[in-house]
Amino acid sequence: MSAVPHRLKVFGTLMLSTACLATIGCSSIHGRPGPGPEVIRPDEVLDFPTLYKENCAACHGANGKNGAAIALANPVYLAVAGEQTIHQTITRGVPGGLMPAFAKSSGGSLTDKQVTILSQGIMQQWSAPDQLAGVTPPPYAATSQGDANRGQQAYAASCARCHGADGEGTPGDPKTGAGKLGSIVNPSYLALISNQDLRSIVIAGRPDEGMPDWRSDSAQPLTDQQITDIIAWLASKRIAEPGQPYHSH
**Residues in contact with ligand HEC by the rule CB under 6 A:** 6, 10, 14, 55-56, 58-60, 69-70, 72, 81, 86, 89-90, 94, 97-100, 102, 118, 158-159, 161-163, 181-182, 184, 193-194, 196-198, 200-202, 206, 209-212, 230
The residues, ordered by sequence, that sit 6+ positions from 207 with a Cβ below 8 Å of its Cβ are: 71, 74, 76, 213
- Closest CB 10 distance from ligand HEC, rounded Å: 5
The residue among 30 and 41 lying less far from ligand HEC, judged by its C-beta, is 41
The residue among 141 and 239 lying less far from ligand HEC, judged by its C-beta, is 141
- Closest CB 34 distance from ligand HEC, rounded Å: 27
Q: Is 69 within 8 Å of 60 (Cβ atoms)?
A: yes
- Closest CB 24 distance from ligand HEC, rounded Å: 16
Using CA atoms, how far apart are residues 38 and 109, in angstroms rounded to an integer?
21
Q: Is 107 within 8 Å of 97 (Cβ atoms)?
A: no
Q: Is 117 within 8 Å of 51 (Cβ atoms)?
A: yes
Using CA atoms, how far apart are residues 50 and 45, in angstroms rounded to an integer?
7
The residue among 24 and 29 lying less far from ligand HEC, judged by its C-beta, is 24
What is the Cα 222 distance to its own chain's centre? 20
- Closest CB 31 distance from ligand HEC, rounded Å: 31
The residue among 18 and 145 lying less far from ligand HEC, judged by its C-beta, is 18
